[in-house]
Amino acid sequence: MAENPRHPFLQGLSKHRGAPPTVVVIFGASGDLTARKLIPAVYNLGVDGLLPADFFLVGFGRKPIPDDEFRTMARDAIQEFSRRELHPESWARISAGTSYVAGGYDDKAAFDRLAQHIAKIEGKINREVQTLFYISTPPSVFAPIIENLGACGLAGRYLRHAHHTKVIIEKPFGRDLDSALALNTAIRRVFEEHQVYRIDHYLGKETVQDLLVQRFSNAIFEPLWNRNFISSVQITVAEEVGVGTRGGYYEQSGCLRDMIQNHTMQLVALTAMEPPGSYDAEAIRDEKVKVLKAIQPLNVMPGGDVARAQYIAGMIGGKPVPGYLAESGIAPTSATETYAAIRLSINNWRWEGVPFYLRSGKRMARRVSEIAINFKRPPGTLFAESGGFNLAANTLSFQIQPDEGLSLILNTKIPGLETRTQPVKMSFRYATTFGSNTPEAYERLVLDAMIGDGTLFIRGDEAETSWKLYTPVLEAWATAGRDGLDQYVAGSWGPAVGDTLLSRQGNVWRQP
């Protein structure tokens, strides 16, 4: 198959980082994440020539599925969800090594069959292979899968060898500090930390990765990246959608667990971390953990550092939508928050006195994920607003979705015979500069796991530190029930209590 022309900015870049012969085993192979993200990710890596020549995909699940049927399911998933259309030659190469093993996640005999299946693959190609296990199942079976991988001997394959076994674990990684500690304990009984890849797909997004590049490769930013020049940082992760058919799951999760504790805290860590000593996975993860440990405990009392709310009926895209309590699967007295806002204080030299404001919610005005760095205003000696000048604080924003890129707000003179000013936005967008067919986050993360690069994955102590911060909040909200739970109209930017969180310090939410 002829290769499509690459964008001129991408010419000459390496396309292969040396993955060894690999078997990827997906637990939960018939699930939604596998169809929507994982199989398309594998396929697109194949199209880009980033899979090793000896690559095998094995589905594992409770439901017995013949190999041919699983291959058909995979092909259908690519046709429906891949960012590229299905090319017969590319699919044929992956399909030839695709198979399925059925069994229960708590069934040791099924894992023995899986081990035999992998041994047959090695015998067929007469080479050793590394095995990458992707656990894409409900959290309730994380521990049984891990235990059985150890019991059947798969976890320890080639442990001191380049082909050692790796395991990717999907979120949610625990529900609170105790459950995260218990899960880490179960993992460490079977795997060593360097084998474990706790995934957060936000870290695979181009703009999130670009955050480190912008900070540490541009001399104009890093000298200003501190309390002397920055007044506040705002991180917004907003969704237009409601809970849909996931009401049962969301009732057990809520916004704080679903978005703030994981995705949003990863953005905090990358924004606030100190420069690492090298672009090494452990050096970067060390600095992220240091930032999380420097965050002060949250004041959960009214008027403190946290706010929560539920959406009520409103309008989205000109159409009426129900409130949270009217959604399918939601209890009429539910106290589950669909919106959460947090004010963080980082107790270190760089960020002392700079508030980090986080908010996330469902049924908000529009879908957007953004990091906004708000710089301090210059002294009003020359261009004071009292003199009629229209001035805005300089703001550097990283837009993570839906239109990945970054922008900088500057003040400029309006052309004319009088000196008048107006804020303008300088923007860069990935789609316009590099082309619109940007790789999906899961493509980058699956590839990194295959080659053993843990930079964009969460270390065990990092997950525990984040849960340590938020578990007291969850406990306080559980005790309070609906007391203190505010409301906001679907289609708005959130509740009044979220605005008050900022206004007490003279700040307002930026509307992305």
Tell me the one-letter amino acid at 242: G
Among 266, 344, 300, CA closest to 472: 300
CB 29 within 8 A of CB 61: yes
Of all helices (H) and strands (E), which one includes residue 267? helix 265-272
DSSP-assigned beta bridge partners for residue 489: 312
Unique residue bearing structure tokens 């291959």: 71
Residue 214 φ/ψ, nearest 5 degrees: -60, -45
- Using CA atoms, how far residue 148 sits from 103, 120, 480, in Å, is 12, 19, 40
Tokens of 199: 């995934």
Q: How far apart are CA 171 and CA 69, in angstroms?
A: 28
Q: How far apart are CA 14 and CA 283, in angstroms?
A: 24
Q: What residue spans of 82-205 are helical by DSSP H?
A: 88-95, 108-125, 142-151, 177-190
Q: How far apart are CA 360 and CA 268, in angstroms?
A: 13
Q: How far apart are CA 253 and CA 233, in angstroms?
A: 26
Q: How far apart are CA 294 and CA 410, in angstroms?
A: 32
- Segments of 296-394 assigned E as strands: 306-312, 314-316, 319-321, 339-344, 356-361, 368-375
- Annotated active-site residue in 117, 164, 201, 263: 263
Q: 460-480 and 177-190 are packed helices; what angle lies between their axes, rounded to 10 degrees?
A: 150
Tokens of 244: 């849909």
Catalytic residue flag (residue 164): no
Tell me the one-letter amino acid at 53: A
- Residue 328 Ramachandran class (φ > 0 left, ψ -120 to 50 alpha, else beta): beta
Q: How far apart are CA 111 and CA 103, in angstroms?
A: 8
Angle at 407 between CA 284 and CA 366, to 5 degrees: 95
Catalogue the active-site residues. 263
